[in-house]
Amino acid sequence: MTDAPPSTSLGPVAGVILAGGLARRMGGADKALVDLAGRPLLAHVIERFAPQVEPLLISANGDPARLAGFRLPVVADPLPGHLGPLAGLAAAALWLAENRPDVRLLASVAVDSPHLPRDLVARLGAALAAAPAAGSALAASGGRTHPVAALHRLDGLADLVEELASGATRRVMSWLETRGAITVEFVDSDGDPFVNLNRPDDVAALAARPARK
């Protein structure tokens, strides 16, 4: 007997790990493969995120062969120029439209957030179900919003490629505001669950902390 696919009251949820950034503050390293406590950052995120979504995609540019060991579909930005997280969302939406048209929700997280909550999708899904007019629900913690840690209705994402190409949309938060996004606060006694790693010192500091449940 296998476990049922993860879903919310709104139906099944796909996921995408956004790993297409240039990582300039990380010295240009491939952030997905940066070592944290003996494992790549991407492996930490998959461990916490994969049980919450199905299918799970990786948004990454460059040679996808370097990520073959993770055995997940890799989707590249549909437009040139490294247009940021929205390009990764657009790539995932296009893949789902072709391969999983039954899925109507897409959760996104950043590859440099290895401590993301294990109930992220469940809580965002509950909030979205209670707000029918909202197109997205995003996470917040410690007085900060985390627009990349979010759950999106796929309705309307088909237009994102055109909006990116025209320059009408580039900033994640501005796009979320047009969708009437709602915010869900996460509090954790073990520290910020959305701590992200932008510099080598950030990785070293997190590695020195006790393992997170």
Q: CATH: 1.10.287.90, 3.50.50.60, 3.40.50.2000, 3.90.550.10. Which one for 19-207?
A: 3.90.550.10
Q: Domain ranges in the chain?
A: 19-207
Percent of the chain residues topping a pLDDT of 70: 83
Residue pair 113/196 in contact (Cβ under 8 Å)? The answer is yes
149-205 pLDDT, tens digit each: 999 999 877 788 888 888 777 789 998 999 999 999 998 767 778 877 666 555 545
Report the predicted TM-score, pTM, of the whole model to 2 decimal places: 0.88
Q: What is the pLDDT of residue 6?
A: 64
